Amino acid sequence: MTDICILGYCPATKQFGVAAASAAIGGSGARLAACAWRGIVYSQGAAALPSPRRAARLLEDGWRGKALLDAIDTGDAARRLVLTMDAQGRVADSVGAEIQKSSYVRRSAGAIAASSGHASAAAVAALLEHFDSQAAEPLAERLMRCIEQGGQACQADFNSAFLRVYDPAIEYAYTDVTVDCHQAPVSELRKAHDWLSPLYAYYALRGQDPTIERYPQWLAKQGIARSN
Amino acid sequence: MTFTVMARCERSGRLGMCTTSFSPIAGSRVPAIIPGVGALAVMSFAAPAMVMFGGRRLLDGRDAGDVLDELRANDPYPEHRQIGVIDARGNLAANTGAAAVPYAEHRCGDQFIVLGNVVASSAVIAAMYETFEATAGEPLAQRLLRGIEAGRDAGGQLDGQRSAFLKLGMPQQEALLVDFRVDYHQEPVGALRGIFDRVLEADPQWAREVRAA
């Protein structure tokens, strides 16, 4: 199973998030656990998280770093690569013994990236390269570009991709886009993200207040012209 | 701007939901499917915070009616929402607020609920209901998808569809057995059908599990 991912943190907005591309056809929900004001855990490689629900509870209870990974890593740990980032951007990782030879993990300021399967160390370097050089970019766009560059660098056949960004002020994922079972999931993710990115704030508002205008009028108020 | 078929299999306890929407990323904003615990859809101005709240109440062991009541009691705009809840015991609760954008309606059947708002007419709701009932004996995932296809073919959303998802969980396994999202597409229900059929063909072990109930 070839997978690449990057977890990133923005100190200016306190947002954190993850972007990933995988040879798996989908099922990102079994690989990711998150708490918007605590952090995220993401698993790649041959095995999903043994219990995303328990991992989310541990996050909520304040577990983080290596202690969190040790607490959740039961069962298939030898076949799993797990990364975590807390709400201050601190990271930890755990690479199972059976996949160490085919896995690469690298950290930089506010980010951790990994590849497994047929992806290479070059893919991890590409994932981080954009993150390190574009600190001013909104986190969702920055992670999106990272996964595009990482995907190009490893030239693997992916079947799914996703992007999530959490904001400590919002209980759920502020940005949450997924492409399942697709021949070109990363470019499809880019298409969806481009259409949605001016509207994440709108949909967050509309959930709280159904009386606001429809999105074309709201976009026009923001000075954004759009035909669809 | 959304229509949904959600159901529980009485024999296996499986819970599932299939939805399509004019809004993008419905799979991120509408549902909570918690295997062995319950299923919840908050529609007509989807509110993920309400979904998370309702999911926690289901995990606390509340029944479907209590969860619906609590959601409505804590919502500043209860008349704008459309909500469906199924708990692990097969209890159903649903509400379509008076201010949900027409045409809006829900119907409860035997361990299933169909709901829709901003749909072309009552024929969309009827088509989902009748198709789900008529396909008894088929796997639950297939019935949910057929229900949504029937709703689309009966007129669907007034402005068309942009996203869809199919999710299904088994009570003995925390991870969902079926979890496919089409977040932004010109014909998301067709795309969802394409994904489902491709994976059925490509993964025989998964197909056996899907067809088991």
CATH code of the domain covering residue A162:
3.60.20.10
Q: How far is CA B60 from CA B55, B64, B88, B190, in A?
A: 9, 12, 12, 37
Query: Would residue A49 count as lying in a domain?
Result: yes
Are A29 and B179 an interchain contact pair (Cβ–Cβ within 8 Å)? yes
Q: Which residues contact B67 (CB under 8 A, 6 or more apart)?
A: B38, B40, B54, B57, B58, B85, B87, B93
* pLDDT above 80 for B163: yes
Query: Would residue A111 count as lying in a domain?
Result: yes
Question: B181, B45 in Cβ contact below 8 A?
Answer: no
Are A192 and B52 an interchain contact pair (Cβ–Cβ within 8 Å)? no
Whether B49 and chain A come into contact, CB under 8 Å, resolves to yes
> Of A3-17, A22-36, A102-116, B80-94, where does mean pLDDT reach its minimum?
A22-36
Instruction: Give me the half-sphere count of Cα atoms (radius 13 Å) on the Cβ side of residue A213.
Output: 8
Query: Would residue A119 count as lying in a domain?
Result: yes
Are A26 and B181 an interchain contact pair (Cβ–Cβ within 8 Å)? yes
Query: Would residue A39 count as lying in a domain?
Result: yes
List the Cα angle A86/A92/A93 in 5-degree steps: 130
* pLDDT above 90 for A120: no
Distance from CA of A218 to the nearest CA of B (A): 15
Q: What is the gyration radius of the CA atoms in chain B, in angstroms?
A: 15
The whole-number pLDDT of residue A101 equals 84
Query: Would residue A206 count as lying in a domain?
Result: no
Are A192 and B51 an interchain contact pair (Cβ–Cβ within 8 Å)? no
Percent of chain A at pLDDT above 70? 99
Superfamily for B2-211? Aminohydrolase, N-terminal nucleophile (Ntn) domain (3.60.20.10)
* pLDDT above 80 for A73: no
Query: Would residue A85 count as lying in a domain?
Result: yes
Using one digit for the tens of pLDDT, what is the confidence trace for A147-165?
999 999 987 889 999 999 9
* pLDDT above 90 for B155: yes
| Domain hosting residue A103, numbered range | 3-196
Distance from CA of A119 to the nearest CA of B (A): 23
Query: Would residue A203 count as lying in a domain?
Result: no
List the Cα angle B29/A17/B56 in 5-degree steps: 45
Using one digit for the tens of pLDDT, what is the confidence trace for B86-127?
999 999 999 999 999 999 999 999 999 999 999 999 999 999
Query: Would residue A186 count as lying in a domain?
Result: yes
Whether B25 and chain A come into contact, CB under 8 Å, resolves to yes
Q: In the numeric block, which tokens belong to residue B101?
A: 């954008």
- Count of domains forming chain A: 1
The whole-number pLDDT of residue B2 equals 96
* pLDDT above 90 for B24: yes
